[in-house]
Amino acid sequence: MFTNYNTKMLQRLKILGVIILIGIQFPGSIIASGPLTTTTISGVLGEDGWYNSNVTVSFDATTYASRPQSLTYSINGGDAITRAYSRVPDEPGNGSFETINQNIPYHWESSDQGLVYVSFLQSSEGNRSVALAHTSEDPTFIYVHNRNNPTPVSLGDDIDVLAQVYPLLSEGSLAYFEVWGVDSMHQNDQLLSYSNYIAESTTIWTTAISSLTVPGNVSFLYLKLGLMSNPTGIAFWDNVRILTPAHKTAHIDVPITENGQFNFLYYTQDTDGQRETDQFLTVKMDTSAPKPWQEFGFVKGVCDNCYETQSAIIDQQSGIQVSSAKYRYYTDYLSQQWSSWIPVSSTVLYNSQSPAPNGSTQMIALQTGEVNYGSPASGPFRVQYKVQDLSGRESVSPIYGLFNPWLHIDGSIFVEGQIAVYSPDPGITLATADVVSGQAVLSMPHTGWEVSSYSHVLANAHSLSTLIPQYDNLLSSGEGLGLHLPTVSGVYTQAGDVVVDTEMLSTGFETTAQSTVVLITGNLIISNDISSIPGNHTIFVVDGDVKVDAQVSEITGIYMMSGDFISDSSGTSQVQLTINGSVIALGQLQLGRDLGVGNVNNNENTPAEVFNWQPQYITDSELISYLTGSDTTYTWREVE
């Protein structure tokens, strides 16, 4: 218990029935204002206020003499969403006096004077309150305190203390509370502040409140809820709250993971029922560059090798930044190759051909105007575009060829990876047979064939062992290849890269009828034509890439590889390549030959690569027995 401090710390004077405390500053007029919400947007900020990444909107609420209760928001006029703020535990403990111990509230103790008891008749919150009653000829301050259960605070904290009081007072009596501080060792008690005085009896619960900033050498706060009786009085106390910064602030995050413009209407409501006025926030998010590039086309200009080109693009979020549209072009004239990036001559709405406004979300055509590719020049002639949206994201088009190289497939090929070819000119058919790709077939028009996903035995093939059941056995039992391709049927192996040149072919491989499997644990580099007779059935199984040099015009055989099939290892070949057989690649099919525009055989009249299927491979029982390890039985029937 603590003795009354009125004779030890303060001089109390009674003047006209009002008690004045000498040496302690009055708390002044403290009014609980409404909540305030601030917002922070986290993400990668692009241009024009657009974010280029997923965004998190953080709502931080601050209240005064109350606690944040809930955040209510709507987006783009949609349904309102209300979310409760998370709350730290209330301070002080048992501030509503619901838990008692021998008629004294748990965590609280009483002064030596007067009567202190738990009341079940009066309560502001819950079912109980604590009552103080006293009769005295002299002003006497009686109180309950929680010094042994104080609230931790930090230097500079702004603290609000509130309590509800129901006073039954005689003239000259007062009800109020005091705020005390102690140091980290729970010593050196000092009076920090006190609440407004309640000097009259009321029939309603009244709020007593005090605000303060924590000074130095104070680590904990405790309260004295009191009654100054002069001569008599009763005060009921309830719903005591110490609001630290942790109690008066709260945080809610709202993530945005979709592109678009989001108009927030939001407000915070506090625990006293005060509601913030409507607040507004706009968040713009565009994580995608403009796409897709489409509708490429070109027309002949006035001069030789002059062409006008255009390509269209759309951005349905922030819209196209038309001033950023540029192009560059490629020509072999005077070894110029790629030009620098040049602003396009015009940007128009694709459908109406009217000038495109900045930020348009319609399809926009980028037009180069007439470009002189130089004369004489044999091509290739190429053009590429780039443009940004308003958020600053840039999109670069594919490289378009004005007269693109193309291929013709008259037989089955299988590629687990991607088939990459130029976009063909209108009307060109690339395939008249089945083409199987585990990923994407880029620019692959067809005739008479269904384009769909379906199951087949090569689906999800990931190694040569999954393609050839006997691969490991063949690799370990095959005969060494040596310096020349074989002239006798059988299985042959070679470790490391193999280069097929005139020396490798010098012993008569091309003119010998045979059924042969050649396994290579490296790359196969073909630098000479392979023109075999019809009876030569050879399968090359390559644990690596198959690379065909620029000068090669014809190869024969079935080529199975774990890597890529590259039709032009130099990237500069203007020679047509014919493959008499088939390609089965677990990597990509890279078709890089370009016949240009000025040659006799050019991209306008000749495919750059031709695949000719050789059906005799599927009826060679000796060859199939090597690959499967068993004899093969054929059943033939007519089909309609």
DSSP for 66-89? Answer: S-EEEEEEEETT---EEEEPP-PP
With beta carbons less than 8 A apart as the criterion, state whether 583 and 412 touch: no
Q: Is the pLDDT of residue 402 over 90?
A: no
For residue 393, give the 3-state DSSP assignment: coil
Cα 112 from chain centroid?
65
333 CB-near residues (< 8 Å, 6+ apart) = 305, 373, 374, 375, 376, 377
DSSP at 446: B
In this predicted structure, which of 6-15, 97-106, 248-257, 450-459 has the lowest mean pLDDT? 6-15
Residue type, 568: D
In this prediction, what percent of the chain has a pLDDT beyond 70? Answer: 85
Does this model's pTM top 0.75? My answer is: no
Beta strands at 279-285 and 260-270: parallel, antiparallel or unpaired: antiparallel
DSSP states of 156-173: T-EEEEEEEEEEEE-TT-
Whole-number pLDDT of residue 418: 59
DSSP string, 9-65: T--EEEETTEEEETTS--------PPPEEEEEEES-B-STTEESS-EEEEEEEE-SS
pLDDT of residue 491: 97
Q: What pLDDT, on a 0 to 100 scale, did the predictor assign at position 617?
A: 84
**What confidence tier does 142 reach under pLDDT thresholds 50, 70, 90?**
very high
C-beta of residue 59 within 8 angstroms of C-beta of residue 71: yes
227 pLDDT above the threshold of 90: yes
What pLDDT, on a 0 to 100 scale, did the predictor assign at position 510? 93
Q: How confident is the model at residue 16 (pLDDT cuts 50, 70, 90)?
A: very low
Handedness of CA 479, 485, 491, 494 (dihedral sign): positive
Q: Which two tokens stand for residue 357?
A: 């406004």
Backbone angles phi and psi of 619, in degrees to 5: -110, 5
The torsion defined by the Cα of 420, 422, 423 and 429, in degrees rounded to 10, comes to -80
Rounded average pLDDT over 538-567: 95
Cβ 54 vs Cβ 213: under 8 Å: no
Confidence band, pLDDT 50/70/90 cuts, at residue 499? very high
344, two tokens? 């396009």
Amino acid occupying residue 318? S
For 467, the token pair is 């393609």
Question: What is the rounded CA–CA span in Å between residue 365 and residue 326?
Answer: 12
Residue ranges and CATH numbers for the domains of the chain are 36-88+248-285 (2.60.40.1930), 100-243 (2.60.120.260), 292-401 (2.60.40), 407-627 (no CATH)
Q: Which helix (H) or strand (E) holds 295?
A: strand 294-300
Tokens of 184: 């980290």
pLDDT at 449 over 50: no
**Residue 464 is inside which H or E element, if any?**
helix 464-467
Name the residue type at position 208: A
pLDDT confidence band for 161 (50 / 70 / 90):
very high
Greatest CA separation for the chain: 133
Average pLDDT estimate for 414-428: 57
CA 460 from centre of chain: 29
List the one residue out of 212, 211, 270, 166 whose CA is nearest residue 30: 211
Render pLDDT for 34-46 as a digit per residue (tens, 0 to 9): 899 999 999 999 9
Tell me the C-alpha distance between 575 and 32, whole Å: 86
162 against 631, higher pLDDT: 162
